[in-house]
Amino acid sequence: MGEARPAGTAPSAHFVTGSTLRHVVVMGATGSVGLMAIFVVDLLSLLYIARLGDPTLTAAVGFATIVQIFAVSINIGMMIAVGALVSRALGRGDVGQARRLAASALVLSVAGSAAVTALLLPLLDPALRLIGAGPETVPAARTFLWIALPSTMLMAIGMGFSGVLRAIGDARRAMMVTLAGAAVTAVLDPVLIFGLGLGIEGAAITVVLARLAFAWVGYSGAVSVHNMVARPDAAAILADAGPILRVALPTVLTNLAPPVASAFLAHVMAGFGTATVAGNAVVDRVVPVAFGGLFALSGAVGPILGQNWGAGRFDRMRAALRDAALVTGLYVAVVWLALFLGRGPLTALFGLEGAGADLLGFFCLAGGAIWFFNGLLFLGNASFNNLGFPLAASALNWGRATLGTMPPALLGAHLAGPEGAMAGMGIGSALFGVMGLALAFRVVGVLERREAVAGLEADGRQTVERPVS
């Protein structure tokens, strides 16, 4: 699983054999290491900004992150699309199609990222005000975004290569892609923020350089080592655009829902003052560090499902979903205990006081329950995106972002302040999480019945066409 392959040699679709639990754990664990490394250094970056002693800057980075998520969602959608299509092609043994689809998807991903960046940059001020940024935080957030936002095109390249590596099962090199960006951030953030005195501008410059490393290491693994990305061809891109966008557009739509929910929650929190906004910004950075394994797990299960669908192994698809749900529960239990025990030191570390400290403390007490159900929804979405039902993922994610977030968050805020808003959002997560996993198993059954019907029809045609002796 790591050796270089000459062009035209099909990588082994090894997810169709062996223990599904082992595949889930290995892919999820390696993905977690890479993702959580990025999330940890992002948290450190926010900590460095917080150490500057100005809560306005901490809040500004929080608002800037929300805006960036909209652009990053395009990249995530394209990464999921390339992983789904490449893994499916490899499951059928068609390496040529897999390489061509990878190239086409990468080009489309960069184009989409460039378009979103060009749209957002002129609208930064109204966008920041819309999600609750006040006049004191808008200038700092705007400065950060003008530097960092264009680098989402580099991130599109890196995430596309990472999706290719996961599709072929090279979990180690996919992990190294994200570790490279994390390493650059860990080294340069304190140098630029404090050493050169660049403050929030230094944090934004580090984001750009980290994404450059992200793209370079991804290229080295997917192209130089595995040769799994063909040379882009205009005719192929046009031919592949339809199949790619049929997966990518609903997936992008799905991934735009969480930032909408986060933006709405940030708007609600802004009504309770700057201290609450700063506390919510810390929660937003703690969440990926604490529960980054759930993001990685949903990314891990997709290629496993895709390869087994291509091979017609529906029993293994069900087993992979069951194993992933089990790992989700065990992971959340461990993280929840750690948050419970560490809520005091964590609050002190970021210098939060008053309402901000109360909000972070409540998250440490209740976040585990909320994110267990979010994890189940992630598994459902990964199944829908990789098995040809991306609109189901869009419907569930937007359902959670609207019906599952807005009314309960507003009601909770009215009854119990910022903590009530967070609790209300958690109730919506529970409903949609259970629904998502249940529907994922149903999708596997639908696909199995379709294949059985297709097989019977093929047998019937052969019987009719067979000459009578």
- The domain limits of the chain are 17-454
> What are 111's two structure tokens?
């184009």
CA 331 centroid distance within chain: 17
Side chain identity at residue 19, one-letter code: S
Instruction: For residues 332 and 323, give the distance between their C-alpha atoms in angstroms, rounded to a whole number.
Output: 14
Closest CA to 39 of 251, 296, 252: 296
How many other C-beta atoms can be found within 10 angstroms of the C-beta atom of residue 414?
11
Instruction: For residues 311 and 338, give the distance between their C-alpha atoms in angstroms, rounded to a whole number.
Output: 40
> In the prediction, which pLDDT does 9 show?
45
> In the prediction, which pLDDT does 5 show?
47
Closest CA to 63 of 151, 1, 153, 124: 124
CA distances in angstroms from 260 to 298, 341, 454, listed in the order given = 20, 31, 41
> In the prediction, which pLDDT does 1 show?
42
Angle between helices 152-167 and 171-190 (to 10 degrees): 150
CA distances in angstroms from 186 to 172, 295, 297, listed in the order given = 20, 21, 24
> What are 277's two structure tokens?
């906004």
51-55 contacts, C-beta under 8 A, 24 or more apart: 51/351, 52/193, 52/199, 55/274, 55/275, 55/278
Query: Which residues touch 21 (CB under 8 Å, ≥6 apart)?
Result: 319, 323, 326, 327
> In the prediction, which pLDDT does 31 show?
63
Tell the residue number behind the tokens 């005000």, with chain if given: 129
> What are 85's two structure tokens?
């299509």
> What are 95's two structure tokens?
């390496």
- Residue pair 306/91 in contact by the 8 Å Cβ criterion: yes
∠ CA 442-370-278, rounded to 5°: 140
> What are 382's two structure tokens?
């990964």
End-to-end CA distance of the chain: 51
How many other C-beta atoms can be found within 10 angstroms of the C-beta atom of residue 57?
22
> In the prediction, which pLDDT does 334 show?
92
> In the prediction, which pLDDT does 460 show?
61
SS (H, E, C) the chain: CCCCCCCCCCCCCHHHCCCHHHHHHHHHHHHHHHHHHHHHHHHHHHHHHHHCCCHHHHHHHHHHHHHHHHHHHHHHHHHHHHHHHHHHHHHCCCHHHHHHHHHHHHHHHHHHHHHHHHHHHHHHHHHHHHCCCCCCCHHHHHHHHHHHHHHHHHHHHHHHHHHHHHHCCCHHHHHHHHHHHHHHHHHHHHHHHHHCCCHHHHHHHHHHHHHHHHHHHHHHHHHHHCCCCCCCCHHHHHHHHHHHHHHHHHHHHHHHHHHHHHHHHHHHHHCCCHHHHHHHHHHHHHHHHHHHHHHHHHHHHHHHHHHHHHCCCHHHHHHHHHHHHHHHHHHHHHHHHHHHHHHHHHHHHCCCCHHHHHHHHHHHHHHHHHHHHHHHHHHHHHHHHHCCCHHHHHHHHHHHHCCCCHHHHHHHHHHHHHHHHHHHHHHHHHHHHHHHHHHHHHHHHHHHHHHHHHHHHHHHHHHHHCCCC
- pLDDT tens for the chain, 469 residues: list them: 444 444 444 455 567 777 888 888 877 776 666 566 666 666 676 777 777 777 777 778 777 877 777 777 777 777 777 877 887 777 777 788 888 888 888 898 888 888 888 888 888 888 888 777 778 788 888 888 899 889 888 988 888 898 888 888 777 787 788 788 778 888 888 888 888 888 888 888 988 898 899 899 989 888 888 888 888 888 888 888 888 888 777 777 777 777 778 778 888 888 888 788 888 878 877 887 788 778 778 777 877 887 788 777 888 888 888 989 999 999 999 999 999 898 888 888 777 788 888 888 899 988 888 889 988 998 888 888 778 787 888 888 889 888 988 899 999 999 988 889 988 988 888 899 999 999 999 988 888 888 877 766 666 666 555 554 4
Angle between helices 55-91 and 95-120 (to 10 degrees): 160
> In the prediction, which pLDDT does 60 show?
81
Instruction: For residues 308 and 312, give the distance between their C-alpha atoms in angstroms, rounded to a whole number.
Output: 6
> What are 252's two structure tokens?
């992008």
> In the prediction, which pLDDT does 313 show?
82
> In the prediction, which pLDDT does 289 show?
76
